[in-house]
Amino acid sequence: MIQVGLLTELQKDELVGQLYAPDSYFNPIQDINDNWVISQEEMYNNENELVAWVKDLPLIDFEPKPSPFPPTE
């Protein structure tokens, strides 16, 4: 099971539009329970000192939202 870092709504807002490494932007997404999360790659490769706290985010199992496609699409 893939694990991801759990964000609060305020933390999500702080990361949107921010770089975590050169030419690499954070991309917070919502899981099946509408939790805001980021990947471990973003957490552990972060070079942005303004959001250094991302490395300490609690990890949760990633449960993606269901596929938006029916099987015929």
Partner 1 sequence: MYLINSFRFGGGAPAVDPDAQAFITAASITDPTQQSAIDTLVTDLKGYGIWTKTKAIYPFVGGTASSHKFNLKDPQDTDAAFRLTFSGGWTHSVNGVQGNLTNAFADTYLVPSTNLVTDNHVSIYLNTLFTSGSSPYNIGAYNAVTQALAIRTMGTFDNSSRTYNYSQIDIANTIGNTAGFWLNNIISSNHRQLRNNVLRSSATKTGTVPTQKVYLGALNLNGTASLFTNQRIALSTIGDNLTATEEGNLYTAVQAFNTTLSRQV
Residues that bind partner 1 (CB under 8 A): 2, 4, 21-29, 37-42, 45, 62, 64, 67-69, 71-73
Of 56, 62, 21, the closest CA to residue 39 belongs to 62
Least distance to partner 1, CB of residue 2, Å: 6
Shortest CB 68 distance to partner 1, Å: 6
Residues 6+ apart with CB under 8 A from 6: 35, 36, 37, 57, 58, 59, 60
Closest distance between partner 1 and the C-beta of residue 30, in Å?
10
